[in-house]
Chain A
Amino acid sequence: MRHQSRYLLAIALAVAVIQIGVLASMIVSRAAILRDGREVVLEVHPVDPRDLLRGDYVRIGYNISSLPKEIFEGVSGETGDVDGSAVFVRLEAGEGGIWNAVSARFGEPPSAARAQNQVDIRGATPIGNVSQAQLIAVDYGIERFYLPEGEGKSIEEGLGERPFRMIVAVDDSGAAQIKAFYDGDTLIYREPLY
């Protein structure tokens, strides 16, 4: 019995270590994007001024959240079907330091060689067929900004009136990570690595 319970304790510790390891690796991979990813600056758009604050996060959109169909490759002209839901969007810094989408492709990065001043960011679209669409919605996994409970009001109100910018880190695979949040030129939040 004593032997058996020691055995069970060892198994339990192994389970705990594996689960803690999974969580730690998630943290490390996110921190790696922050540390090593290239920075792009995006303009923040309020998604819906009346419904910005849902519980404990602000829902936000960007200047690249809705893209014209013309810049997309990989759309079948006749049927409008797309190759999977993954979208790669090529960004380039424009005037005022805000990065804009120059091309995009379903399933893989745009076929033209990527220039030094460009970054490919990976997203997903909820649309399966784009024959009717003029604008294609793309989510990048950075559409929420979590706030301490009850502190979202000022950002929620400010978003409707003033321009906000987000600095986003993007790694080689295109994964994006929120890095810093600006109200005009004022830094309101900078993501610590850990």
Chain B
Amino acid sequence: MAGYLDTVSKDIARWRAAGLIDEATAAALVADAARHHRRRFSFGTVLAILAAVLLAAALLLLVAANWEAIPRLVRVAGIFAVILAGYAGGAILKGRDHSAFAEGLWIIAAVAFGGGIALVGQMYHLSGDEKDALFVWALGTALAAAALRSGPLTAGTVLLAGTWMLAVAMGGGPGRSVPLEFPLYAAVLWAVSVWTASIAARHLILLSLMLYAALLYLDDEALVVPALLAAVSAGAFAFGHFQPRLADWLTRLGGGLMVQGLLGFIAGMSIIQVELHEGSYFVAIAAVTFAGIVGALLMAGRDSRALRWLAYAGFIFELGFVYLTLLGTMLGTAGFFFAGGISLALLAWFISRIERRMAASTGDAGSGAGA
């Protein structure tokens, strides 16, 4: 991200030198870019949060070590004190405009809450209660995130909720094990993320829903689940492309919605292909997948580097999959190398075509604006 500021400053300097803009405009542009940039991302914040995560991990390990030197009631009191000091101290720092350290302290307090749950389990030798413990931890963190309007805590809650969902799904037990109510929790967390203005949390929610769909499919192998995932994702992509303002207003993900849409589409189609790789529909499904990836690239690849790279990765993955499924049975090892070489050459040709096309259309747009 620091690169962006460099690039735009150089561009502005060049425009100034070329006489396209005057000195005052140039200064205003640089100032605006710097201000906007700082608001979106700051190394200080990231380092403060990393420090908080490290300190919190140390706290959890201290609990796990079950250290006899500290009587357990003192341990409980210590955890309570960290929770109280963390939340209160964070609130005080927030009021004094030390936002990064405030968020860090809140993270430590929320982790201490989880550590407290673990400590109670250890004190009373509870077993098999990990899922409930994760759920209570996520609930408590969600409450803190919403009450304190904290973005990092919201993202943390989504991670805890996703871990809980995974733990329940992997826990076995009778019948369907994936918690069917998870989308409901995801919806609530989405609302919290809008309230706390956390884009990261919304991205994590979408990823957790894709994981949910995959686990749901593993549970009863119903193809309707990945089909729905692919269809909804493609719909989200199209919505983001054709109604960008409305989509951004609704989801507040920026261009991220389309990246997530493409990811969901590839994930859903991959599951369907793994399931039907021996069926006669395989070629048709693979063709739809290729068409979807290339279509996404042509529609939106110019504006988003993330989407471009995801599309390339998806394309290569799909190519490998189709090869292994259709040709792998017919050709020997030599054939594999031959086909691989030809495929890579075709891929290189295809990607360079796309990039040239994009460069050309960017150039058109630029000269159009100039004229």
Q: Please report A residues at the B interface, Cβ cutoff 8 Å.
A: 1-2, 4-6, 8-9, 11-20, 22-24, 26-27, 30, 55-57, 59, 82, 84-85, 124, 126-129, 139, 141-149, 177-178, 191-192, 194
Of B64, B80, B136, the contact of A56 (CB 8 Å cutoff)? B64
B288 to chain A, nearest CB (A): 37
B219 to chain A, nearest CB (A): 12
**Other A-B pairs beyond A148-B66, A194-B73, 20, CB < 8 Å:** A4-B95, A5-B92, A5-B95, A11-B147, A12-B91, A13-B88, A15-B148, A17-B84, A18-B140, A19-B83, A20-B83, A23-B80, A56-B64, A59-B127, A82-B174, A85-B173, A124-B173, A126-B173, A128-B173, A143-B128
B39 proximal to A (CB < 8 A): no
Collect the chain B residues with CB atoms within 8 Å of residue A146's CB: 66, 122, 125
Of B95, B126, B143, the contact of A141 (CB 8 Å cutoff)? B126
Of B87, B92, B117, B136, the contact of A15 (CB 8 Å cutoff)? B87
Of A11, A30, A148, A178, the contact of B68 (CB 8 Å cutoff)? A148
Residue contact A56 to B113, C-beta cutoff 8 Å = no
Q: Please report B residues at the A interface, Cβ cutoff 8 Å.
A: 64-68, 72-73, 76, 79-80, 83-84, 86-88, 90-92, 94-96, 106, 109, 113, 116-117, 120, 122-129, 136, 140, 143-144, 147-148, 172-175
B101 to chain A, nearest CB (A): 14
Collect the chain B residues with CB atoms within 8 Å of residue A84's CB: 174
Of B64, B117, B126, B144, the contact of A144 (CB 8 Å cutoff)? B126
A25 to chain B, nearest CB (A): 10
Collect the chain A residues with CB atoms within 8 Å of residue B88's CB: 9, 12-13, 16
21 contacts between A and B (CB under 8 A): A5-B92, A5-B95, A8-B95, A11-B91, A12-B87, A12-B148, A15-B143, A15-B148, A16-B86, A16-B87, A16-B109, A18-B143, A20-B80, A24-B80, A26-B117, A30-B124, A139-B128, A142-B127, A144-B127, A177-B124, A178-B124
Most A-side CB within 10 Å, residue of B64, B84, B126, B136: B126
Collect the chain A residues with CB atoms within 8 Å of residue B67's CB: 148-149
Given contacts A8-B91, A12-B90, contact A145 B125 (CB under 8 A): yes
A27 to chain B, nearest CB (A): 6
B258 to chain A, nearest CB (A): 36
Residue contact A128 to B174, C-beta cutoff 8 Å = yes
B176 to chain A, nearest CB (A): 10
Residue contact B127 to A23, C-beta cutoff 8 Å = no
B123 to chain A, nearest CB (A): 7
Residue contact B90 to A23, C-beta cutoff 8 Å = no
Collect the chain A residues with CB atoms within 8 Å of residue B129's CB: 141
Residue contact A23 to B117, C-beta cutoff 8 Å = yes
A73 to chain B, nearest CB (A): 17
Collect the chain A residues with CB atoms within 8 Å of residue B96's CB: 5
- Which partner residue on chain B sits nearest A56 by CB separation? B66
Residue contact A15 to B173, C-beta cutoff 8 Å = no
A45 to chain B, nearest CB (A): 15
Collect the chain A residues with CB atoms within 8 Å of residue B109's CB: 16, 19
Residue contact B140 to A22, C-beta cutoff 8 Å = yes
